[in-house]
Chain A
Amino acid sequence: MTLSVSHVIFVVLSATALVGALGVVLSRNLFRAALFLVLSFVGVAGLYILLEVEILAMIQLLIYVGAIAILIIFVIMVSRQLMSPQYRAWNQQRPGGAVVAVVLFAVLAFVLLSVTWPTAEAAVPQDAIARLGRALVAPDQFVLPFEVASVLLLVALVGAVVIAREK
């Protein structure tokens, strides 16, 4: 297998995503964990660009980094747990959790590497965005999940406001 630019870029982007993920779960300082989470999101957005779905990369940056990560950072700052002296980061299941994660990864990697995946080479169409837009509202394609997702967002919006309100 000849080494090409895509391979190098893939390794760099996945390393970013994985280092970020490791930083999230291993770092004691919660704020730094949130920043590592942002790094992981950016790495995953890069992977999407490599997969030629740029619109999802932009949506990922906009929603995950621009909204979810900011929300997480706000809540970390509001609940100033990491300033308290008895701050303990890990619970008693830590070794068990590590074992489960490693075993699961080993099983998944074994399965993924031993199956020959039926891939089909094709180029992404030029008007992919227009097709995506049409697919989301076409009655014979994906309009139902789209509408249900909007209802879900409305419910989540109202629910979050009601739950977090000051009495």
Chain B
Amino acid sequence: MDILNFWVELGRVVGEWMASWGLPPWAVNLIADFIGVLILVVFGVMAVIIFTPMERKVIARMQDRPGPNRVWPYGLLQALADAIKMLTKEDIIPSKADRALHMLAPILVVIPALLIYAVLPWGPRLIGQDLNVGVLYVVAIGAIHILAVVIAGWGSDNKYALLSAFRTVNQLLAYEVPMVLSILAVVLLARTMSTQGIVEAQSVPYLIVTPIAGLIYLVCAMAEANRSPVDLLEADSEMVAGYMVEYSGMKFAMFFIAEYVNMFAVAILVSTLFLGGWKFFGLEDVAPVLAPLIVFGKSVLVIFCMLWFRATFPRLRFDHLVGFSWKFLVPLSLINLLLVALVVKIPVADSRLAPWVQGGAMLLASLVVMAATALLLNRAARRLKDAPALKRIVAVER
């Protein structure tokens, strides 16, 4: 057994052992698929257990306070304490709410988050199912998440939950467009929509080739996961927790779990699309067994960035939020798409040098666009500062 390729060999050995029971091949495949699904779901739920305490400790340290430190040394089992607390709470259903819808919404929220794990590549030959439309599948799954939010809002029989659900859908739809456009830029570069193909095509991580697409995708993915600074609609101190207000106990825990599972999946997606996935300067050719660890390490980096954003930035107001998406991110991602489409077609004489030349050209062009954007924003901010309305307010205060 090739120890360096441990995970694939393990799968092969288990498959052969099951086949030796004398089952027909379709039964062996079915059982193997079930085991694979179980492992992926466990990965997803593991995200909650690992990242809940990590989030609270990291944000606490950034705010110069200790964070949870009662459960186990350093408070690392906090998620377990939260789970026990939520399990022991009473399950309240509003009397005039539609019972079926009220119970359907939490289930429907967790399902899309877990479904993303099917197309995430954990190694050179470790992937749930290598769909040739992998990234399109991820975007389509996001659509189901939007539906779940609407059902949660409607099934609560609460005007404020409904209003918050409307606004959340508004936000989710607004941030879906730049997300799709930045994924499209990556697909143009990699010439394939399958996630495994995109990782294999990244001789240079795409964050360096198209930094604009990477940053836009990070922001949009955070907005899709309803995380700060764009979590106006579900934060505890705003809009009374939004569309989740009438949910208590385990159902609320489902929303909570869905958010963290989604966050982990999105972090792995960012590392797959933009940071090179399971590649690490050639280490994956030597020891493919370390590939899942590399993926996990990169996704922890991305999650740390997300937590950093949450601890640092204030919340955006709702109209600022959607205005930011439609008026800034969509034109920027369209310009980026145009750029990528043009540069990809530059003919390079020496085909071995082609990725580097094209990557360098794209990086240069992206830096020019980012500098131009910063300049325009600076000019707009200066104009806003000198606006007569603002002057009147400042004058009155003085």
Contacts and interface: CB of A to CB of B under 8 A. Distances in A.
Interface of A: 5, 31-32, 35, 38, 54-55, 58-59, 61-62, 65-67, 69-70, 73-74, 77, 129
Nearest to A63: B143
B162 A66 contact: no
B132 A54 contact: yes
A31 B137 CA distance: 26
B193 A70 contact: no
Contacts of A35: 101, 151
B147 A38 contact: yes
A94 B372 CA distance: 63
Nearest to A130: B191
Contacts of A59: 136, 140
Interface in B84-103: 98, 101
A58 B150 contact: no
Interface in B223-257: none
A117 to B, nearest CB: 28
A165 B1 CA distance: 68
B74 to A, nearest CB: 42
A41 to B, nearest CB: 10
A65 B136 contact: no
Contacts of B146: 66, 70
A62 B136 contact: yes
Closest 5 A/B residue pairs (Cβ): A66-B143, A61-B140, A58-B136, A62-B140, A58-B140
A5 B143 contact: no
Interface residues of B, number: 25
Contacts of B154: 31, 73, 77
A58 B133 contact: yes
Contacts, number: 58
Contacts of A58: 133, 136-137, 139-140
Interface in B7-40: 26
Interface of B: 26, 98, 101, 131-133, 136-137, 139-144, 146-147, 150-151, 154, 162, 166, 169, 173, 176, 193
A139 B301 CA distance: 46
Contacts of A66: 140, 142-144, 146-147, 176
Given A61-B144, A66-B142, A70-B169, A129 B133 contact: yes
A18 B88 CA distance: 40
A59 B147 CA distance: 16
A65 B26 contact: no
A38 B112 CA distance: 15
Nearest to A76: B154
Contacts of B133: 54-55, 58, 129
A42 B26 CA distance: 25
A54 B194 CA distance: 12
B136 A74 contact: no
A31 B100 CA distance: 12
B131 A65 contact: no
B133 to A, nearest CB: 5
Contacts of B166: 74, 77
A23 to B, nearest CB: 12
A140 B106 CA distance: 50
A150 B16 CA distance: 52
Contact of A73 (B139, B150, B173, B193): B150
20 contacts: A5-B26, A54-B132, A61-B143, A61-B144, A62-B136, A62-B140, A65-B140, A65-B143, A65-B144, A66-B142, A66-B146, A67-B143, A70-B143, A70-B146, A70-B173, A73-B150, A77-B154, A77-B162, A77-B166, A129-B133
A62 B131 contact: no
A70 B147 contact: yes
